[in-house]
Amino acid sequence: MHIHLQDLGKKFNREWIFKNLTYSFISGNCYAITGNNGSGKSTLLKILAGYSNYSEGSLVWTNSNNHSIESDTVYKEISIAAPYLELIEEMTALELMQFHLSSKEWITGFDNHSILKKVGLEQAANKQIKLYSSGMKQRLKLALAFFSKTELLLLDEPCTNLDAAGVEMYHSLLLDFTKSRTTIICSNDPTEYPNCNDHLSIMDYK
C-alpha cells in the first residue's frame, strides 16, 4: 500500500499538532515516525489508519496497482498495534482471534494455534485476557497485527511492556513478516525500528 500526504495538518481546538506535512509512504518500505513525547506521532498514526480525521490537506491510500482505496474500506488493508487500543478482556486469546477473523484473515501458513506459539502464548490460549500480564497483552496485540494479511502494518511503541525475551520476539517478527508490506513505526527508541531506513520527524512540521 502507498500513502500520499499533501500539506496535511491537524489541530486540536486552536493548537496545531502538525501542519504542512507532505510525504509519501511507498509500498514495501519500513518507516519510523519520531518526535518528542506528546509531539503528535500517535495522532499522525491514527490518521494514517483512518481512525482520526485531519484538519487540512489531503491523504490518499492506493494499493499496489495504484488504485485509490476508499476510507470506508481501507481498514481491510491495515493492521495496527498500539498501547491505546484495547483488547476484549472477557474473551480468551482463541476467542478473540476467532472474532478478529470476522474482518481479517491470517497470512498464509498460519492459524490461531501456530500464531500463539510464535508469540509464546500457546499455554495461555484458553485463558481470559483480563488475567494476562501487560507483557502478554502486548504479545497478543503484536500477534493480531503481524499475522493479519494486510498491506499496511502500523506499530506504535511496539515494545511497550515487553521483557527482554519479548523484545527479541518482536525483532524476529519484524525481520520475518514485514518484507512485502508497508510498515510504519512510531517510536523514540531506535531499537524498535532497526530496519527502517526512512525516518519522518514530526518535529519538522510544527
Could you give the angle at the alpha carbon of 52 between the alpha carbons of 151 and 66, nearest 5°?
35
At 82, which amino acid appears?
A: A
Instruction: Output the tens digit of pLDDT for each of the chain's 206 residues.
Output: 899 999 999 999 889 999 999 999 999 999 999 999 999 999 999 999 999 999 999 999 998 778 899 888 898 899 999 999 999 999 999 999 999 999 999 999 999 999 999 999 999 999 999 999 999 999 999 999 999 999 999 999 999 999 999 999 999 999 999 988 999 999 999 999 998 989 999 999 99
Alpha-carbon gap, residue 65 to 70, rounded angstroms: 14
Amino acid 179: pLDDT: 87
Amino acid 148: pLDDT: 97
List the strands of the sheet with 198-201, edge to edge: 78-81, 152-156, 182-186, 30-34, 198-201
**All three cell numbers of 57:** 490537506
Query: Which CATH number is 13's domain given?
Result: 3.40.50.300
- The structure's pTM equals 0.95
Tally of structural domains, the chain = 1
Alpha-carbon gap, residue 83 to 79, rounded angstroms: 14
Using an 8 Å Cβ cutoff, are 17 and 10 in contact? yes
At 202, which amino acid appears?
A: I
Alpha-carbon gap, residue 103 to 116, rounded angstroms: 19
Amino acid 63: pLDDT: 84
Range of the structural domain that residue 87 is part of: 2-205
